Amino acid sequence: MQKHSQTLRQNRFSYLLKLLNEGNLAAEHPSEILQLLDRTIPKTVNYLYEGLGPLLQTIRDADEDLSRQPNFTLLDVLLQQHTN
């Protein structure tokens, strides 16, 4: 049951990233999307979906100052841990 619950959460998270990437919301609302990602992504994950990298880059491009905030840095470090 616990494994099924974890898979369901991962599928929902993957779908959320897909919608955010397709909708270009990160470019239009970078601060709000950063907050959403910070609140949605668990700080410890087994697998990080590829949609996070482009979203963080879009946020960085839209507002450079956001890339220096602690929540952005934490997400970026998490992304780097799963990229390598």
Look at residue 78 and tell me if it is in a domain: yes
Which band of pLDDT confidence, cut at 50, 70 and 90, is reported for residue 22? confident
> Rounded CA gap, 69 and 60, in Å?
11
Task: Provide the domain limits for residue 82.
Answer: 26-84
Residue 54 within any structural domain of the chain: yes
Number of domains in the chain: 1
Query: 28-70: per-residue pLDDT in tens?
Result: 999 999 999 988 887 776 666 678 899 999 999 999 999 999 9
The separation between the first and the last C-alpha atoms of the chain, rounded to the nearest angstrom, is 31
**Cα separations (Å) of 78 from 2, 31, 56, 75?**
23, 19, 11, 5
Query: Whats the size of the chain, residue-wise?
Result: 84
Side chain identity, residue 40: T
Cα 29 from chain centroid?
14
* pTM confidence score: 0.80
